[in-house]
Amino acid sequence: MKKFIALTLALVLCLSLFAACGAKDEAGAKIAAQKGTTSFMYADKLANTKTTSYDTFALAAKDMINGNADYLFVDKTTAKSLAKEIEGLKIIEIALSSENYGIGIDKNQADLKTKIDNILKDKATEIDAIKEKYMNGEEAKYVGVTSGTKDGSKAAEQLVVATNAEFAPWEYKEGNQFYGIDMEIAKLIADELGLELVIDDMEFDAVVGAVGKQNVDIAMSGITITTERLGVINFSEPYYTESIVCVVPTAYTELDSAGTVVDMLNVICAK
């Protein structure tokens, strides 16, 4: 309950900041974000801005570098991963908002939620180790996960996970194997349940809606727990607290002196 109260307070703060910026007017700053994400939802509420959606955060970052956007809004851990892969990015460390990641679970499988919550609790040490190695960039310790083939006749023997493998370090693909924090946690959960893991890779904005359909049991794709999504799926207990940050080209200096979220939004909304 405390976690949801904290999220509510964060949203109240955000709404007050949006109100301070004034009415929506798309003549100002251009913000890039991945479609369907809470980063996009946040940016799209800001006054005097235009938010453009992209299939991936990487595409959004590259388009910003090419001069087609002023800012990129993205989850902080993914921002750090992008900065390693794409030259010319600078992360503004001030958190625009705080949010909790959870595993999306089919509402018709209440027992599965209970089992997953218990695994997250009982295997907390192993899960923390998975998160830590990716956060620290310990590539030698990464474990590739191979997906089984979805088979409706074996639904009771498989754990089908919807994801968008374009969200390092949470999930990404190399060859025919999946890597990332979520993918290794998904494998751990499937092993604990005695099920074959099947990974259904799709666009991010389809992930939540896929749960409970065509044998998809759960969703893991750095998914933020929101009231809207709770209307569609159940969520596990949170397994990571993330923040949305702003990324700019390295040459951009107008936010360097910002000390608070208000300072940042005053610049972004007035641009």
pLDDT bucket at 1, cuts 50 / 70 / 90:
very low
* Same domain, residue pair 119 and 201: yes
- Number of domains within the chain: 2
pTM greater than 0.85: yes
* Same domain, residue pair 57 and 130: no
* Same domain, residue pair 220 and 262: no
* Same domain, residue pair 123 and 167: yes
Structure token digits, residue 228: 């809207």
* Same domain, residue pair 110 and 211: yes
Is the predicted pLDDT of residue 9 greater than 90, yes or no? no
The pLDDT value recorded for residue 16 is 43
CB of 225 within 8 A of CB of 105? no
Average pLDDT value for residue range 130-136: 97
Rg (CA), the chain: 19
* Same domain, residue pair 186 and 255: no
* Same domain, residue pair 70 and 151: no
In terms of Cβ atoms closer than 10 Å to its own Cβ (0-12, 13-18, 19+), residue 123 is middle
Average pLDDT value for residue range 149-176: 97
Average pLDDT value for residue range 5-20: 44
Helical segments of the chain, H only = 2-21, 38-44, 57-65, 76-85, 110-122, 124-135, 181-193, 204-210, 227-230, 261-270
Write the pLDDT tens digit of every residue in 56-65.
Answer: 999 999 999 9
Average pLDDT value for residue range 97-101: 96
Write the pLDDT tens digit of every residue in 24-46.
Answer: 555 689 999 999 999 999 999 99
Q: What is the signed CA dihedral for 271, 11, 51, 225, rounded to 10 degrees?
A: 150
pLDDT bucket at 180, cuts 50 / 70 / 90:
very high
Q: Determine the Cα–Cα distance for residues 202 and 50; give it in Å rounded to an integer.
A: 26
Q: What's the one-letter identity of residue 31?
A: I
Higher pLDDT, 20 or 261: 261
Is the predicted pLDDT of residue 112 greater than 60, yes or no? yes
* Same domain, residue pair 187 and 110: yes
pLDDT bucket at 153, cuts 50 / 70 / 90:
very high
Three-state SS at 217: coil
The pLDDT value recorded for residue 270 is 86
The pLDDT value recorded for residue 8 is 40
* Same domain, residue pair 43 and 60: yes
Phi, psi (degrees; rounded to nearest 5) at 148:
-80, 180
Q: Determine the Cα–Cα distance for residues 62 and 82; give it in Å rounded to an integer.
A: 10
Residue 8 belongs to domain with CATH number:
3.40.190.10
* Cβ within 8 Å of residue 174, ≥6 positions away: 144
Domain hosting 146: range is: 103-237
Q: What is the SS3 assignment for 62-86? A: HHHHCCCCCEEEEEHHHHHHHHHHC
* Same domain, residue pair 96 and 108: no
Average pLDDT value for residue range 155-160: 97
Residue of 223, 226, 211, 259 whose CA lies nearest to 107: 211
The pLDDT value recorded for residue 17 is 52
